[in-house]
Structure 1
């Protein structure tokens, strides 16, 4: 959808009929609400991690052998790793949901020849809006008049101090006017605005990070190596006269001992600490493995 930059006289603006037509064409000026996964779904996502699957296999083996002490330890590691991942995911989802709260509830626009206050969700491309100090920018705008205008863009760009804007500049939805006043054309609304594009990235399918690929490869190598060693031990024990039951218990015990039970917990805790440090600097980490990618 291209930018709409019709220039209309401020004393005229759009007619109600034209605004209704554009609203039907472009949709409401609001962020689409995509339902997030349930808690069970989040747990399932964490349990599909290759290292966790390896631990689940080890847990099943120790239960078969009857080693309840090791079973408790492995189950605790799985629970800890899953809990940290789910909590981080929920926190990130809440932070992204806060984008909707950055939207302006109301806006002042010229309609039918007069300046009127309307709900910001009713704005359409081509509307002419008025801004003053304290206003939240209700959509992506193109300035047609600006008087000593300064805008706080920290939420969108990370700029720590308000920046000056003048005629011809664009204002991003969700930023805040801190000084001056202006008149501007609405050019993008809803999911096409800067806020909408950020929100859309939340639902974008992401590729595995380098850390995830390395851990997946390590898990496959461990499974093959442990399986081969257990098979050799099982065969040697039987050849030396041990019963099949005793040989199987020995092989399973060796396989469980070779599984690095603490590795997933160490990796997850390390990444969670990194995400916590970034959160203190107002950076939201949706997926813990992304911390390693950023650090590299």
Structure 2
């Protein structure tokens, strides 16, 4: 076991995932590309990888809702509508008549409606991301230094070996190793109403839930 852990640390200068399809490569090549093994990573190696890949969690950036709404009034289509509204005020109808208030009000209403629809769609997407963040696994069972440990899911890195069993939330995107086939509920990610069967070599996604089975997996992507 100790010999399995004595392997080169992942070098951030030389590591490049571009063009590497870890989702479809044979498991042997996945281990080779990630420079890991079924014995898991050492704590030292995991610490180096954490600096390369960052913590296994989605970034949550607070934002001002009002400023977000105003941002939808600052784009080429909105500029055209705003210019038309200004022209309706500045330019008279002719014949001594005043500004065209009807056109002005109509254009402004269309601008507000268009911005409101865009804001609602963007806000719903943000709520979906927040719901996914709340659904991510806070804890996971990971093989480090040759021993199984319960750790925060945020410290997982590509190359880690994790254990997945009934009721667990998948802590990171991973490829399944040898073990019983799993029934995975990934409705929160794909909208599928029924659990799907996953077997050795298949990919499972962060945030989905194990409904049946027990197996080990190698983490291929985090964050």
Find the residue that maps to 2:115 and give its secondary structure. helix
Whether 1:55 and 2:81 are equivalent positions in the alignment is: yes
Who is 2:54 aligned against? Answer: 27
What is the aligned counterpart of 1:43 among 55, 67, 70?
70
State the TM-score, normalized to the length of structure 2.
0.70
Greater shift, 28-37 or 126-135, is seen at 28-37
- Aligned partners of 1:142 and 1:185 also within 8 Å: yes
Give the structure 1 partner of residue 6 of structure 2.
Answer: none
1:235 — aligned with what?
A: none
Please give the residue correspondences for 1:209-228 in structure 2 after superposition, counting only pairs within 5 Å: none
Paired position in structure 1 for 2:37: 7
TM-score by length of 1: 0.54
Shift in CA distance, 34/69, structure 1 to aligned 2, threshold 3 Å = same
More helix by share: 1
Q: Which moved more, 1:65-74 or 1:144-153?
A: 65-74
| Structure 1 gap segments, 5+ residues each | 191-296
Matches within 5 A, 1:77-116: 77-116=110-149
Gaps spanning 5+ residues in structure 2: where? Answer: 1-16, 23-29, 93-97
Change (3 A) 1:149 1:69: same
Deviations 1:26-61 (CA, angstroms, capped at 9, x unpaired): 3221234467686435424334343x4443333223
Alpha carbon RMSD of aligned pairs, Å? 2.7
**Alignment match, 2:44:** 17
Q: For residues 15 and 47 of structure 1, what CA distance do their matches in structure 2 show?
A: 50
Flag the 1:167–1:91 CA change in 2: closer, same or farther, 3 A.
Answer: closer
Give 1:183's aligned residue. 216
> What pairs with 1:1-296 in structure 2 (closer than 5 Å)?
1=17, 2=20, 3=22, 5=31, 6-9=36-39, 13-33=40-60, 39-40=66-67, 42-50=69-77, 52-64=78-90, 65=92, 66-67=98-99, 69-70=101-102, 71-190=104-223
1:133 CA drift (Å): 1.0
Give the Cα separation in 2 of the matches to 1:67 and 1:112: 77
The aligned length equals 186
Q: CA deviation at 1:62?
A: 3.2
Does structure 1 conserve the Cα–Cα contact (< 8 Å) formed by 2:69 and 2:116?
no
Higher strand share: 2
